[in-house]
């Protein structure tokens, strides 16, 4: 089974709305990261949250982490058409160095 599973698998919203994606994982982590992948491109790092942090902001992104529930959420506020992409969570395990285990991804479509 996969370390990270995300839901929803796909999300379609209107421009200006907020988008929320969730990620659940199974084992103890050192950190959790979110990446974006535009169609046909490589992944781009968005934000990292450490296991001792509960919330982090970066521009229009807000990430929360609940280690007791082994879950994280990514909120994109005031979405734009350019936010259309797949979003992946990735966990860095305790003692795992920089090895990342990726989730299944959420495909976000922001319509005009």
Q: Interface with another protein by CB under 8 A: which residues? A: 2, 30-31, 33, 35, 37, 40-45, 48, 50, 86, 88, 92, 96-102, 104-105
Q: CB of 81: closest distance to another protein in angstroms?
A: 21
What is the rounded radius of gyration, in angstroms, for the C-alpha atoms of the chain? Answer: 13
Q: CB of 30: closest distance to another protein in angstroms?
A: 5
> Which C-beta is closer to another protein: that of 79 or that of 86?
86
Pick from 62, 58, 72: which is nearest to 29 by CA?
Answer: 72
> Which C-beta is closer to another protein: that of 13 or that of 48?
48
Neighbours of 74 (CB within 10 A): 25
Of how many residues is the chain composed? 112
Cα–Cα distance measured from residue 26 to residue 71, given in angstroms and rounded to the nearest whole number: 9
CB 65 within 8 A of CB 51: yes
Residue 83 — φ and ψ, nearest 5°? -80, -10
Q: CB of 99: closest distance to another protein in angstroms?
A: 6
> Which C-beta is closer to another protein: that of 18 or that of 50?
50
> Which C-beta is closer to another protein: that of 17 or that of 57?
57
């Amino acid at each position: 089974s996969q370390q990270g599973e995300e839901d929803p698998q796909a999300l379609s919203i209107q421009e200006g709305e907020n988008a929320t994606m969730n990620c659940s994982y199974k084992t103890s982590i050192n950190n959790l990261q979110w990446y974006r992948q535009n169609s046909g491109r490589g992944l781009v790092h968005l934000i990292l949250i450490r296991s001792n942090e509960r919330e982090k902001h970066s521009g229009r992104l807000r990430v929360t982490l609940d280690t007791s529930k082994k879950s994280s959420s990514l909120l994109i506020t005031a979405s734009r058409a350019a936010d259309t992409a797949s979003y992946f969570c990735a966990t860095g395990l305790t003692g795992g160095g920089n090895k990342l285990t990726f989730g299944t991804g959420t495909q976000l479509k922001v319509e005009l």
